[in-house]
Structure 1
Amino acid sequence: MTSRGDDDPAAGHARRLLRTATRYSASRCAALCLVSMAATGAGLLLPAVLGRALDLLLAHAPATRWVLCCAGLVLLLGLLDAVQTVLTGTVDARTTAWLRRRLTGHVLGVGPRATDRFGSGDLVARLVGNAAEAGTTPAARAALVAALAGPVGGVVALGLIDWWLAAVFLAGAPVLALLLRAVSRDTSESASRYQRAQGRIAAALAEAVEGVRTVRAAGTEDRETARVLRPLPDLSRAGHRMWRVQGRAAARAVAVAPLLQLAVVAVAGVLLTRGRLSVGEVLAASRYAVLATGVGVLVGRLAGLARARAAARRLG
């Protein structure tokens, strides 16, 4: 059942709903953002510390302090990752529960008009599945800052090692930016179509269950089955499109990111032969190139946010 709840006013309601949901878990979102940023900072420090330790070891100089710093950073990253996982799960669960309570109370307050407009099955699909997807938005937004800080910090670190390294990377950065923009746009469109098709199936199924005695008495089981599953081709097309969008994004990232990393490492090797970089700095540059091309993390975050926004519009 296609509803009028997916129009522009619903998008405005969805934004307000998500803002209120984010404020509901504001302290935990702030903590998640801080933990994510701390993990990103530790990840950015590690290559530099590793490079310094390697240079000292190659020069047969005392490097115990730097090796211990490396070990400490690795342990800190493991601890922060565990805390980030717990906070993400907590924020997702709290936000989903709040959305379901808020929307269930609203539907019950509206009364029969809600089922007349949307259908009971479609309402259940929105309150259960769509609320769970929309509930991931606050945590995803909080972690997105750190996901963006990683690549930006990697580029800055390359520039601090040698400006040629940052220049080489930035030459290919527009391709990555276009990739991320296309993924966000296409995923949002596909997710909206997928969720609408789910809602139509749920609404038809609920109607069939409510009238199951009449269906049995009339012997129209096959006709009802066909009616319930009529939106299935649309659901399949939207689902396959989502996977194709993410597959194409992953393929492009696999093609572009390694080329940028190789370009940075190649330039670092040339600078090493000219005495402008040390072996440890080449190691650090190779690691920062990987961080700077963190497209996989950003693609995953943006795709998740696109699906969550589509679900929030259906709630709106």
Structure 2
Amino acid sequence: MHSDRTDAAPPQPAPTGSPDRPPTRPVPPTSADDAVPGDDDRAEVTRPPRLLLPAAGGRWAVLLALAVAASTTATLLLPALLARAVNQALAGAGTATGHQLLLVLALLTAAEATAQYAAPRSSAEGAARIRALAIRRTLAAGPAAVARMPVGDLVARLTASAPQAALAAPALVYSAAQLLMAVVAVVALTLISPLLSLAFLATAPTGYAVIRRQLRRTTHAGDGYQRTQAQLASGLLDALSGSRSIAASATVTREIERVLRPLPHLSRLGHELWDTQRRTAWCTGLLAPATQLAVLAVAGTQVAAGRLGVGDLLAALGYTGIGLSGLGTAQSLLDVAQARAGAARLTGVLTLPVRGVTSRPLPAGPGRLELRGVVVRRQGVAALDGLDLTVPDGSWTALVGAPDSVTSLVAALAVGLAEPDEGTVTLDGVPLMEIHPDELPTAISCAFADPVLTGATVQDALGLGPAPPPPWRLRGAARAAQADTFIRRLPDGYRTPMSSLVLSGGERQRLGLARALARDSRLIVLDDATCGLDGATEAAALHALREETAGRTVLHITRRATVAAAADRVAWLHEGRVHTVAAHDELWPLAAYRDVLDGGTPGPRPAPVKASAGD
């Protein structure tokens, strides 16, 4: 049975050491963009993260681009102005060029100061924008998000990958500026003397080849580092969710080893990233003086021969230094590679499927639920195969069957948390997927075996929804769910903060039931929502629930005979289809039916039983 966090996909057996929180099985990908992380994660690196570039930008990115453009212009003008000023000084000419030189230096200083301030602000703003975009998409995707990737991996993408992706804007700005300066510097050296550009180009290509190689290493290591971080986060979340069982079974040491198992690989990848930067700095550090010496030797020879003046020599040295700034693109391009890896991982989040918002209104109706020809595949296997089920309006229908994950999948379909691969699910004749999402919580309420209770206080948790019910209705729902008594015993009753509560499984279930009953919904779906109650409490709750839901439609997924007996009719799910719809008393003589309710596996396909009227 599912909690209301992961009810869109069948659960899988829990990993060793974390029995309290079984992970959900990922939904098979329907396209390249929907690939399941972990199975096809390496393919994500090749995806162009173009959709993140607008989010990574912003006003600070624009200011940074303007400042770098001004700085680049001033830097390129400096050697030419310096050469002219020196030549004029040696010739005894005026100081007009000197004044221009001072203005350019002032512009360079102001532009550099602005860029140093704007760059970190651009990264911070971009990270905030990207993270907000990814969080909105994750919440809009709902259960599909955790069905497609582990929670730890999802959290790592939202936290660690966003700052990495935000490096894109400043890194691209600096890379473009440095490459432009390198190209202009080579052109300027050619104009001064073609031999100077040849001397420069004799060594520079080696540096660019080194940078290209290191970029490939950085992209691979950066992506692996982020994926390994996600594995650590997933293992830690699993361990924390199963901490009570781990402590009770005295397997803490083994669990620590399991969680930390990816750590050596993370360390190797981190060292590889640092080694890449070290090698890049080392190679460029050697190439820069070698290139400068080559250009200086050629320029000195030409000055001695009278082909160049002293000012030209200074200009050549200046443009050589500017040309070597192309090697400085190494760090910027490394940032681009890391940003690309982060953006590729976030692309998996930003392409999560989100149901389109439609405007078809839901007409008034009694809450008749119909599933026609429903097919749902999980990992290439049909979990539901041509399911036909009608829940008549105003009736209480119990759905029984095995495995639990399949019956819970029916609950997810009934409340609009999952979509069928084939077939339709309708409420009062309107397909659920065509109803505006804001109307569904009003029309359908649900309770789960493992409810997640959110809200500042108990009353807030019970009233969760677009329009919280009035307090008197909340208290009536709590009484029907057998929760009012223990709520009143809390320190502040219904005003008790949720953060201060330690609830048993049965108490949480009763609060989940009360939350579902508090809304005046036409359809109520209960996914084994009373399985944690003791016999007496469950019997009282079922009696009160029948009175509270009189006139409303109820679909109760269960494996308990007491619940099935209390229902008007039982739909027996077998091999992905409804095999029989009949009263519990008619089905009880069948051994296979009793095996399902007792928690065993179904026997051979039972002989058909005549369905009751209405389905």
Q: Same fold (TM over 0.5)?
A: yes
Aligned to 1:15: 49
Match for residue 111 of structure 2 among 62, 72, 80 = 80
Q: Is the 8 A contact 1:52 1:280 kept in 2?
A: yes
CA distance in 1, matches of 2:118, 2:312: 35
Aligned to 1:61: 93
Cα deviation per residue 1:246-274 (whole Å; 9 max; x = unaligned)? 21122211222211111001100001001
Q: Is the 8 A contact 1:3 1:117 kept in 2?
A: no
CA distance in 2, matches of 1:235, 1:215: 25
Cα deviation per residue 1:44-94 (whole Å; 9 max; x = unaligned)? 11122122222233334333x322222222221111112223332333223
Q: Unaligned regions of 5+ residues in structure 1, if any?
A: none
Match for residue 131 of structure 2 among 79, 100, 105 = 100
- Structure 2 counterparts to residues 143-158 of structure 1, below 5 A: 143-158=174-189
Displacement of 1:30 = 4.6
Q: Is the 8 A contact 2:208 2:327 kept in 1?
A: no
Determine helix, strand or coil for the equivalent of 1:222: helix
Q: Using the TM superposition, name which of 129-138 and 81-90 deviates more.
A: 81-90
Letter in 2 for 1:32: L
Displacement of 1:7 = 4.1
Match for residue 81 of structure 2 among 44, 49, 58 = 49
Q: Is the 8 A contact 1:249 1:299 kept in 2?
A: yes
CA distance in 2, matches of 1:138, 1:5: 27
Letter in 1 for 2:73: G
Q: Is the 8 A contact 2:174 2:329 kept in 1?
A: no
Q: Using the TM superposition, name which of 298-307 and 113-122 deviates more.
A: 113-122
Letter in 2 for 1:56: Q
Letter in 2 for 1:141: L
CA distance in 2, matches of 1:111, 1:10: 25
Q: Is the 8 A contact 1:6 1:313 kept in 2?
A: no
**CA pair 284-314 structure 1, distance change in 2 beyond 3 A:** same
Displacement of 1:127 = 0.4
**CA pair 264-244 structure 1, distance change in 2 beyond 3 A:** same
Q: Is the 8 A contact 2:228 2:266 kept in 1?
A: yes
Letter in 2 for 1:136: L
Letter in 1 for 2:221: S
**CA pair 247-195 structure 1, distance change in 2 beyond 3 A:** same
Q: Is the 8 A contact 2:79 2:315 kept in 1?
A: yes
Match for residue 277 of structure 2 among 246, 251, 254 = 246
Q: Is the 8 A contact 2:152 2:237 kept in 1?
A: yes
CA distance in 2, matches of 1:99, 1:11: 19
Is 1:215 aligned to 2:246, yes or no? yes
- Structure 2 counterparts to residues 164-243 of structure 1, below 5 A: 164-243=195-274
Higher relative contact order (CA 8 A, sep 6+): 1
CA distance in 1, matches of 2:326, 2:67: 21
Match for residue 167 of structure 2 among 127, 136, 150 = 136
Q: Is the 8 A contact 2:52 2:343 kept in 1?
A: yes
Displacement of 1:297 = 2.0
CA distance in 2, matches of 1:257, 1:86: 28
Higher strand share: 2
Aligned to 2:38: 3
Q: Is the 8 A contact 1:268 1:282 kept in 2?
A: yes
Cα deviation per residue 1:276-302 (whole Å; 9 max; x = unaligned)? 111111111111111111244200011
Aligned to 1:161: 192
**CA pair 313-145 structure 1, distance change in 2 beyond 3 A:** same
Determine helix, strand or coil for the equivalent of 1:277: coil
Query: Could you tell me the TM-score, scaled by structure 1's length?
Result: 0.90
CA distance in 2, matches of 1:243, 1:61: 53
- Matched length: 312
Q: Is the 8 A contact 1:32 1:139 kept in 2?
A: yes
Is 1:34 aligned to 2:66, yes or no? yes
CA distance in 2, matches of 1:170, 1:96: 39
Match for residue 152 of structure 2 among 88, 110, 121 = 121
**CA pair 236-295 structure 1, distance change in 2 beyond 3 A:** farther
Cα deviation per residue 1:104-154 (whole Å; 9 max; x = unaligned)? 122222223423442222211110110111012123223322121111121
Determine helix, strand or coil for the equivalent of 2:94: coil
**CA pair 5-104 structure 1, distance change in 2 beyond 3 A:** farther
Cα deviation per residue 1:10-61 (whole Å; 9 max; x = unaligned)? 743x524224425x63x65454333312211100111221222222333343
Calculate the aligned-residue CA RMSD, in Å. Answer: 2.2
Match for residue 321 of structure 2 among 290, 294, 307 = 290
Match for residue 308 of structure 1 among 339, 358, 362 = 339
Aligned to 1:280: 311
Determine helix, strand or coil for the equivalent of 2:196: helix
Larger Rg: 2
**CA pair 20-62 structure 1, distance change in 2 beyond 3 A:** closer
**CA pair 56-142 structure 1, distance change in 2 beyond 3 A:** same
CA distance in 2, matches of 1:44, 1:300: 21
CA distance in 2, matches of 1:209, 1:145: 46
CA distance in 2, matches of 1:222, 1:150: 57
Q: Is the 8 A contact 2:207 2:327 kept in 1?
A: no
CA distance in 2, matches of 1:210, 1:59: 82
Query: Could you tell me the TM-score, scaled by structure 2's length?
Result: 0.48
Q: Is the 8 A contact 1:257 1:295 kept in 2?
A: no
Cα deviation per residue 1:187-230 (whole Å; 9 max; x = unaligned)? 10111111111111111112222222332232222112111110
Return structure 1 stretches of 4+ with deviation > 6 angstroms: none
CA distance in 2, matches of 1:295, 1:203: 41
Letter in 2 for 1:21: A
CA distance in 1, matches of 2:208, 2:193: 23
Aligned to 2:537: none
